[in-house]
Structure formats: structure tokens, C-alpha cells
Structure 1
Amino acid sequence: MITVLEGAPPMAAAIGALRASLLGGLDPEAGPPRSAVPVPQGQLLLMPAHWGSYAGVKVVSVTPGNADRGLPRIQGNYLLLDGETLTPLALLDGIALTNVRTAAVSAVAADVLAAPDASRLVLFGTGPQARSHLEALRCVRPVRDVVVVGRDAERTRTFADDIGARVGSADDVADADVVVCCTTARTPLFDGSLLPAHSTVVAVGSHEPDAREVDERTVGRSTVVVEAVSAALREAGDIVLAAQAGALDPGTLIGLADLVRGKAQLPPGRPRLFKSVGMAWQDLVVAAAHFEATQG
């Protein structure tokens, strides 16, 4: 019998599970690429993975026109399987899972990249990922001063009031310890020349090679960390476009696993950028942790 699990594990547990999987030998480069199938109203995404005692697959639909229908832009479910027999074990809300695992991965990276006393956050976006990232970063850094930047003034003000933040502008990155970009933007959100040398940027909003949230200046100035080099060069427009412009040598990209395992060199005196496209192993690790937490 398949167990239907509500929501996703607590953020701190998801962060711990992802960190432990990387320390335990999980290789993000070994995962299969995301399958994206165009359909008339958007995309269907298929994300399978296998690790340890489990396998699983997430099926997601992306429908840009749903906003006008009062429906979510992204919908989906996650099926967790036994790793040996491939017997279905549990069904999870794919969007709740995505919201937690995306922010949790960012927190794993930020815990190594950001200054220990990082307290000022500039947050681009007003949706579920913005909210989840604030929660996740507060698990690893003493975030106290939050500035929100959004396209819709009323929505931005409402969101900022709800999370106890201030409304700001793109220029606020000049004083940021951490900048988080979780938007649907296809062009850069801020001028990378404004970033302080001590800052850390997290960009998670896009997974298409022709879309980006950060400019070539940001990429060129920064030590750049990605979940997997192969995935970044395939899907991360922030990386692909900067490399095409000559602002980035792909050979300098640092994989998240090497970062967590302490194998990466982080030069002082320059910003740090974590670019995430979202990968299937992350869903699997967090889904498995949630399933195990509910058993017996």
C-alpha cells in the first residue's frame, strides 16, 4: 500500500539530509538529465533518481498561463520507490517537496560560502521559493535585516510586511551580505558591479540555457559553485551565457559536492555565487528522509 505523505520534512531536517548525502558519497554528476517535454500550454518535466535504499521520480507540469486562471504555475507529484524492488512506497506533493528541497540545497551551499555573521539579505521574488529561502537561510546564518525586491509593488509590500522585511530596490545589493534570486526573470535582476566583495549570491529561478537572473559581471567577479557542472552547462543560462560571452571559464566551476567535502578552494576578496537549476537527487534525498521520519 502506498503511503500518502503530506507536505515535506522540516527545513532543518532537509538541509541535514542533503548535506549528509553529499558527505556520504552521492555524486550529483551521475544523475540523469531532466526530461522536458514541450506541450501546447507549457512543459512536462520528468525527474528520476536512485540513491542508497531508494529510487523515485517527480512529474511536474509548468503552465505559465495558469496565473490568469487562478491556478499554480507549477504542479506535480513525487513517487518514492524501494531502491531494490522498485515497489512504490509513498506519494508526496511534488511542489511542497520542491519548495523545501530547493531552499535546503541553497542553505547547504550558503553555509559554506556566506560569511559566518551574514545578517543582511536582499531577496528578489515574492513567491513560495522566496519564503522558503528565508526560512532555510535562517537555519544557517543570523539573518535579521531583510530587503524584498519584486515587480508588483502591492504584492511586494504585502509579502514584505508578512515576513517582517522592508521593500527595497535592486541597488540594495550594494550593502548585502547575501542576495537570493528566486524569480521567473529571464534577464539580470541587478548590476553585478554593485556587489560587495564579501557577498554571496544564490540564484535558483531559472533552468533554461537562455534565461538568467544574474549578469556576466556577477559571474565573472565571483567564485562560482553549481550543483553539477554538467547540469549547469546544460541548463543554467546564468552560466551558459556568461561562458559564451567570455566572462567565465567553465573549467573554474566548483561542484557542490566538492564544496561540502572541503575540497574546493575559495579565494578571499571576491563574491561567491551558487547557481542552482534543481536536480532529481535532491527530491529523492528529501523525500526519503521525510518517509523514514514517518515510519514507526
Structure 2
Amino acid sequence: MTPMPLARAVSSCLVAAALTLSATPARADDVSFGQNQLCGLETARPDRNPAVQEKIVQGRNGPIGYVRFGRGAPLLLITGFRATLGEWNAYFLGELAKHHDVIVFDNRGVGRSTATPARFGADYGIRDMAADAADVMAGLKLSRVDVVGWSMGGMIAQQLALDAREKVASLTLIATAPPGPQAAPVPPRVLQVLSGAGPDAFGQIMAALFPANVVADASKCFVGDMFAPRGYKGRPVPEPVAAQQNEAMTRWFADTAAADALRRSPVRTLVIAGANDDVLADTNGRRLEQMIPRARLDVVADAGHALMFQYPLELARHIEAFVAQ
């Protein structure tokens, strides 16, 4: 038989490869939330209620500012690097509040979560911020809660589950990373962008938080969709506080003791990662799944770091389905 011409042979190989790829099933942990839900949804947002206002609870290191709303089982949300409680998407919180008593708070040094320097300490880490989260629970007399942590807040949530495991009913970790050297830290160039320095800082931050195909819409709607309870004045995060948070994360990525303890954690855990996360890559989610005995991983297609702004309703419903199990 006469051999096929080279071009025809190459073409046949490419077709065969394409058919093989198309027949390959998606990974078991891949999920899709469908259409992006950016921009002013026509649904409830708790900050439209004038009764939803910031209050103070006393922690061991001083006051901690928090906001509480909704009805149901308590759900504690811990926010991330350079973020305030206002960085949560208001529609995401509103959807969660349909089934939960939602508590959001500012990490130490942010907004009204302050203390005297002698008590506050200039040097603190993830474990200290987890202790602050435990103080919120104690101050509000919450004996057992479901905990959601985003980004650096997910690191704090992991430590909280290690230090107060009897008080954590379940753990949801969004776009975060495990402790220890197996983690993939925030790339230096992205960390520089998140610092908010330089020209077009807002545009660069949006490009870091969202996939390229949704950056334009996200840029239009991000600020308007942020949680903004009446009278809240938590922004911006002071530079010394942001620097200390960065140092705390650096130590987290070297914390082999926390990594070892996490491998023995009994807490039921949902890990949610964005397939297009440029801040904390989804490889971190896969490492968390391998590390935590009772962890389940969901990698969300077409999702960046700020999933709660891309998919506020679907993400909230996804979390609720897990917590309710």
C-alpha cells in the first residue's frame, strides 16, 4: 500500500488526538456554576437593611468589629489579605443569610478591630488571627459554628479548626492554600499588584482577581456589589497591617507543624478553588484535598480568585448544600 503523504498523515494524527481529548471525561472535582452573575442582581442584600450595622465584641487583644444578620445555624466568615468585611459580595451574603445566622468581622488592625499597641503586638501570625476568630465566637456565645474562609481567611480558618476543633462543625475553604512548603504561595508580581501601588491600580487588581473574559464587567460592578452596611468605615487597610498579614502568610507557607496537624484533622471540609485563579493557584486546592482526611475538592471552571463576586448566588447555594449535609 502506498504511504499517505506527510500532510495527510499529520492531519489524521491531529484528528485522532482531538477525538481522544474530547472523549476524555472531566475530572471528578470539576464543577461549573454556569453564567457569571456579575453586576447588581435583583435579589436581597442585607446591607440594604438599616438595622444591619457594625458592632463590637471584646476579644483578648481588644475590640473586634463585626456585623451579624440572617437566621439559622451560625456561619462565621473570615476574610482575606488586605480585605475588610466590606470585601464580601453583598448578594453572596444575602443568599447565605436565607438559611444562616451570618457573622462577618474584620481581622485585627482593620477598621474597628483595634487595640493598644502593647496588647495588639506588632508581630503576629495566622494563629493569632485564628484566636481573634475564636474570640468572636466566644463573645457572641456561639458554641459551635460552620466556618467559611476566603484566601488568607482560609488559612485562618484552617488554624481555627486545629485550635478549636470541637467548635467548628464544618470548614469551607475558598481560594486558599495549605500550610507548609507544599503550598504554592502568591506570586511576587501578583502580591505587588494587590498592594494597590502604581498606575491603574484598580484595573490591575481586577485583572488579578478575575479571569480575563470577565474583567470588564467586574471592573464596572465590583465596588457597587461590595457589602456596605450603614456607617461602615473599615477601608482602607493600613499599610503596616497589610505588611504584617503578608509576613503571617509567609510563615504559614513554612509551617510544617500546622501541615502535620491538618493531616489528622477530623473536621468535614469543602475546598473550593478557581480554575483560573492567578493569586492562589488551584494546585493549592488539590494539595488541601490530599492533606485533610475529610476534604472534598471542587474546582470551579471559569473562576478566578474572587469567586463570591463572579458567582454570588451559586457559590452560596453550593456552600449551603455542603453545610446542610
Same fold (TM over 0.5): no
TM-score by length of 2: 0.30
By relative contact order (CA 8 Å, sep 6+), the higher-ranking structure is 2
Q: Rg bigger for which structure?
A: 2
Q: TM-score, structure 1 length as denominator? A: 0.32
Which protein is richer in strand relative to its size?
A: 1
